[in-house]
Amino acid sequence: MDRLAAFTAARRDEMMRDRARNRGQIGAAGEAGNVVDQAFGLLWYRMIFEHERSTSRPPMTSPPRSQNSSAMIRRVEVGFAVERFDHIVLNCNDVEATAAWYERVLGMTRETFGPSNRTALSFGNQKINLRPIGALADDPEWVTGTVEAAGSEDLCFITRATPDEVRAHLAGCGVEITAGPVTKTGAMGAMTSHYCRDLDGNLVEVAVY
């Protein structure tokens, strides 16, 4: 590295001399101009060169990379920015059975809310509302997406358990592990994931950072 640094510095000095000669500030070898003047001129142009290099930035041709992952990040300025998910709505064929599965397998807490006694599963600062297929018949205000379907979701949950503990727990619950452990890229970087499916066939990923 010392030899490379010395070569780089020497090459830089040579470039500075060329630039100085082109601007008429340093005489070529054998021309008029004493050594002190040439050294001062070289020092002056080195300072200019360092200043130009430090203040001029080439235009970015690609978005910056996240420090925690290899994923590309692109930020767009808008009037406001969302902070996090509050809840999602999961359309399901059997609310009772689905709630029991998520309680038993993922440790969520069942809640009943609203005048229609809807069912939710809470965990952390988020929750999943369980919406039965055909809910509009009994709960006209509970609209959903354009396509009302059970088993079309792909969900990823984070746990503080170890990957081995995740695998052992899923197996103990009688849940088939469809893939894992595998390394995936989440919102915070690389994580170790196991995949399974809930009762409606939704893909459920349980991941560990």
Q: Give the C-alpha separation, 185 to 192, whole Å.
A: 9
Residue type, 14: E
- Options 148, 165, 176, 205, the catalytic residue: 205
Q: Give the C-alpha separation, 191 to 69, whole Å.
A: 10
Active site residue 31: no
| DSSP 3-state of 6 | helix
DSSP-derived letter for residue 25 is: S
Scored b (16 or more CB within 10 A) or e, 99-117 reads bebbeebbebeeeeeeeee
Tokens of 41: 């001129």
Scored b (16 or more CB within 10 A) or e, 169-197 reads bbeeeebeeeebbeeeebeeeebbbbbbe
Q: Give the C-alpha separation, 140 to 200, whole Å.
A: 23
Instruction: Compute how many other C-beta atoms are within 10 angstroms of the C-beta atom of residue 48.
Output: 13
Catalytic residue numbers? 205
